């Protein structure tokens, strides 16, 4: 049986540099195309939440493992609620403009083991970006909106608990665990590669954390 806490810690250790940069203020700069203002921040968040909703709903639709399907259904429901909450702040006429590279990666995974591993990677990466959004609204003297995104972060904590339980169920041997770890790392790498690409497209250096 997989030690899920050790698995998550390994994911964090294997991706220390990428996660530190995804958790820096520059990640918000990259997500908004350099326009760190309320509307672009909300739009980038709406794009991410919408993509997550669609990703996990699609996973649930074709998932044969009962526990995984239930976890993906619950996560899709949470992400749909997140998207609708952000949409209320933007206005109902906003249409998501893009699918983040992270979700393009997730949508290419077909096995339960890979999906559960990537589920962990997505949560770990998303937790960093959510913290930056909270920080933005705290700095913008908008504590009510900051609290909304703190609650999104609490949902991510619940999702991680869900993912850890699944790891212990679906990873039957060392080979399964290795495949799950590869998928988790792949999810974070997809998010980080897009961050680097966006920064370089704006002529900015993606490497410094601060």
Range 174-179 average pLDDT: 97
Whether residue 177 lies inside any domain: the answer is yes
Whether residue 187 lies inside any domain: the answer is yes
Q: Distance of CA 168 to CAs 110, 137, 157, 183, 208, Å?
A: 19, 37, 17, 16, 36
Whether residue 69 lies inside any domain: the answer is yes
Number of separate domains in the chain: 1
Residue carrying the six token digits 């997730």? 106
Whether residue 207 lies inside any domain: the answer is no
Residues 68-114 pLDDT 10s: 999 999 999 999 999 999 999 998 688 997 899 999 999 999 999 99
Whether residue 208 lies inside any domain: the answer is no
User: Are the C-beta atoms of 79 and 56 separated by less than 8 Å?
Assistant: yes
Residue 2 confidence class, pLDDT cut points 50, 70, 90:
confident
Q: pTM for the complete prediction?
A: 0.94
Whether residue 210 lies inside any domain: the answer is no
Phi, psi dihedrals of residue 176, rounded to the nearest 5°: -60, -45
Residues 20-68 pLDDT 10s: 999 998 999 999 999 999 999 999 999 999 999 999 999 999 999 999 9
Phi, psi dihedrals of residue 112, rounded to the nearest 5°: -60, -45
Residue ranges making up the domain that contains 19: 4-201
Residue 209 confidence class, pLDDT cut points 50, 70, 90:
very low
State whether residue 70 is helix, strand or coil. Answer: helix
Element (H, E) at 179: helix 174-201
- Per the structure block, which two tokens stand in for 55? 């990703």
CATH assignment at residue 27: 1.20.910.10
Say what the pLDDT of residue 152 is.
94
Q: What whole-number distance in Å separates Cα of residue 47 and Cα of residue 54?
A: 11
Q: What whole-number distance in Å separates Cα of residue 45 and Cα of residue 65?
A: 30
């Amino acid at each position: 049986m997989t030690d899920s806490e050790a698995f998550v810690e390994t994911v964090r250790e294997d991706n220390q540099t990428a996660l530190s940069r995804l958790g820096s203020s520059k990640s918000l700069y990259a997500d908004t195309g350099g326009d760190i203002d309320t509307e672009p921040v909300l739009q980038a968040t709406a794009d991410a939440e919408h993509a997550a909703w669609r990703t996990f709903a699609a996973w649930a639709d074709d998932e044969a493992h009962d526990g995984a399907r239930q976890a993906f259904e619950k996560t899709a429901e949470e992400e749909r609620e997140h998207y609708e909450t952000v949409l209320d702040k933007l206005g109902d006429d906003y249409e998501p403009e893009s699918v983040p590279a992270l979700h393009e990666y997730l949508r290419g995974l077909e096995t339960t083991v890979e999906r559960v591993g990537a589920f962990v990677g997505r949560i770990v990466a998303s937790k960093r970006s959510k913290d930056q959004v909270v920080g933005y609204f705290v700095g913008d003297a908008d504590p009510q909106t900051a609290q909304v995104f703190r609650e999104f972060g609490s949902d991510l904590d619940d999702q991680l608990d869900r993912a850890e339980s699944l790891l212990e169920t679906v990873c039957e041997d060392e080979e399964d665990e290795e495949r799950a770890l590869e998928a988790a790392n792949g999810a974070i790498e997809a998010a980080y590669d897009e961050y680097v690409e966006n920064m370089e497209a704006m002529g900015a250096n993606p490497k410094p954390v601060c």
